A and B are shown apart, each in its own frame.
Chain A
Amino acid sequence: GAVVSQHPSRVICKSGTSVKIECRSLDFQATTMFWYRQFPKQSLMLMATSNEGSKATYEQGVEKDKFLINHASLTLSTLTVTSAHPEDSSFYICSAPHRLAANTDTQYFGPGTRLTVL
């Protein structure tokens, strides 16, 4: 199946610093990628849709100046958490749609990035 990677897998940073998370589709191209956030024992919350060549679309309640998204190429999207604070600590997961069957796309997920802000 399609493979999506994320880097880094785990990051610990001090409050006030910025952290960049990369999401790559390894064997397919993705004009759109999605960023999710997951709290412990909770569901995945869609944060934003990353669009290659244009601005990201953010879900209601997600601060676009806080979570900067850049879709630099057809295989790479980055999420930068700016001026991170402890409440930003979470598990961030990206996904990319890929053709599953005729007329059907599905999401393939990256392995996630655990962000801990001290």
Chain B
Amino acid sequence: GEDVEQSLFLSVREGDSSVINCTYTDSSSTYLYWYKQEPGAGLQLLTYIFSNMDMKQDQRLTVLLNKKDKHLSLRIADTQTGDSAIYFCAPASGGSYIPTFGRGTSLIVHP
């Protein structure tokens, strides 16, 4: 099965950029999602990228995909305190839409 690895914590200053990295193992991952989870809440789909894309930008969010290295990153520009949450990288492999989740990266934004 798919294994997804993320660093557990990231701390940044408000206004700086945040970069959250993720590695996965299944090269047949077709859709790669980023979800955000605020404390005590469910998951909110932030953005996604298809495996035939290298980059996708959506307002403050930029997703980079290195398919050869099976590496995915999420960059948040001008990070705000409201961005503090856990971010999950979730690739869906084999053409299915059922994602596999890593343990998530807890983003802490300091004022």
Give the docked Cα–Cα distance between A34 and B104 (Å): 19
Q: A104-B31, A104-B97, A107-B97 are in contact. Are A43 and B43 (CB under 8 A)?
A: no
User: In chain A between 70 and 118, which residues have their CB closer than 8 angstroms to a CB of chain B?
Assistant: 93, 95, 97, 100, 104-112, 114
Cβ contact within 8 Å between A106 and B41: no
- A42 lies within 8 A of B103 (CB): yes
Interface residues of B in 39-55 (CB under 8 A from A): 40-45, 48, 50
Given A43-B88, A43-B103, A100-B48: A109 in contact with B42 (beta carbons within 8 A): yes
Number of contacting residues on A, CB 8 A?
23
B10, chain A: closest CB distance, angstroms = 14
Contact: B40 with A112, CB < 8 Å? yes
| Total interface residues in chain B, CB < 8 Å | 22
The answer to whether B97 touches A105, judged by C-beta atoms less than 8 angstroms apart, is yes
Partner of A109, one of B35, B50, B97, B102: B35
B101 lies within 8 A of A43 (CB): yes
A contact residues around B98 at 8 Å (CB): 34, 46, 107
Q: Is B88's CB under 8 angstroms from A112's CB? A: no
Contact flags A28-51 to B (C-beta < 8 A → 1, else 0)? 000000100000011110100000
Cβ 8 A contact of A41, one of B35, B48, B88, B103: B103
Q: Is the CB of A43 within 8 A of B102?
A: yes
Q: B43 — nearest CB in chain A belongs to which residue?
A: A109
CB-CB under 8 A from A46, the residues of chain B are 98
